[in-house]
Structure 1
């Protein structure tokens, strides 16, 4: 079955989903962020088929989210986040905050995040880049942007 392509839509959410909307992609990014860099490490952690993992890694490399770096002469590669990929991990951290709040249950969050700047265990919270105030769905109005075509 062919996957629906959203990359041509005038919508940043749709364009982002075109890059990471397949369910395995965010988990691959999570693993690379967590330090699993080699194909076999990622495959073992996720329990994903080799074929699907190869497709996901190729897609994420093609999209400029991951880069391949050789680690021996066979050739074999490690996968590393690019700048574009690191910013996608920021998005995943927002998903973590939501999942921890609504889905973690009594056991609590499965992973904690210590902030380098203050040393405290915390979570991501959205704020306005202009004024620094909290910025959530009820705090904004949607306006057409220059790329909207309207």
Structure 2
């Protein structure tokens, strides 16, 4: 199934999967949340080809996840990439993937190049799913699914 096919699905999981499902897109978003903003910095940090990087940045711009912001460099106007509100709302998605990956896919030899800590208290960071009314933390077993008519 092509990107366009997924993107047009009447499914609130299928459409985001179409946007985020390619591995470079998720790694690019990780770098943006870590503070990378400039094309050259993405390319050198990620060792991604210029054409793939251009394609992924264009897609995120077109989807309204990123915006281009001008800056001056050596007397020339250049652009950096910043998250929009739509893009910032992807933070819990990336954190959920990281939380899952730490639990199920990390190895003893692996040493992540960075840690995440709460600025206020220094505690660790993880994603969780909670009830919008009572705040209880939920798993799939705690949720009842009702089909819409």
Give the structure-2-normalised TM-score.
0.87
CA distance in 1, matches of 2:19, 2:107: 30
1:97 to 96, 99, 112: 99
Measure the CA separation in 2 of the matches of 1:98 and 1:80.
26
Structure 2: segments with no counterpart, 5+ residues: none
1:4 shift after superposition: 4.8
- Shift in Å, 1:108: 6.0
Q: Which residue of 2 aligns with 1:114?
A: 117
Q: Which residue pairs with 2:69 in the alignment?
A: 69
Q: Which residue of 2 aligns with 1:79?
A: 81
Figure out how many residues of one structure are paired with residues of the other and give that number: 145
> Aligned pair in 2 of structure 1 residues 97, 87: CA closer, same or farther (>3 Å)?
same
Indicate whether 1:127 and 2:130 are aligned: yes
Q: Root-mean-square deviation (CA), in Å?
A: 1.9
Of 73-82 and 20-29, deviating more is: 73-82
Quote the Cα distance in structure 1 between the aligned partners of 2:121 and 2:46.
Answer: 32
Q: How far has the Cα of 1:87 moved from its partner?
A: 1.1
Report what 2:36 is aligned to: 36
Q: CA offset at residue 129 of structure 1?
A: 1.9
Partner SS, residue 32 of structure 2: helix
Check if 1:142 corresponds to 2:118: no
Deviation string 1:59-110 (CA, Å, 9 cap, x unpaired) is 0011010111011264421011111111112100010000011111224661
Conserved in 1, the CA contact under 8 Å of 2:3 and 2:18?
no
Structure 1, unaligned stretches of length 5 or more?
Answer: none
For 1:108-148, what per-residue CA distance to the aligned partner results, in whole angstroms no more than 9, with x for missing partners? Answer: 66132212343312322222222111112121122224xxx
CA distance in 2, matches of 1:108, 1:134: 29
Name which of structure 1's ranges 92-101 and 2-11 shifts more when overlaid on structure 2: 2-11
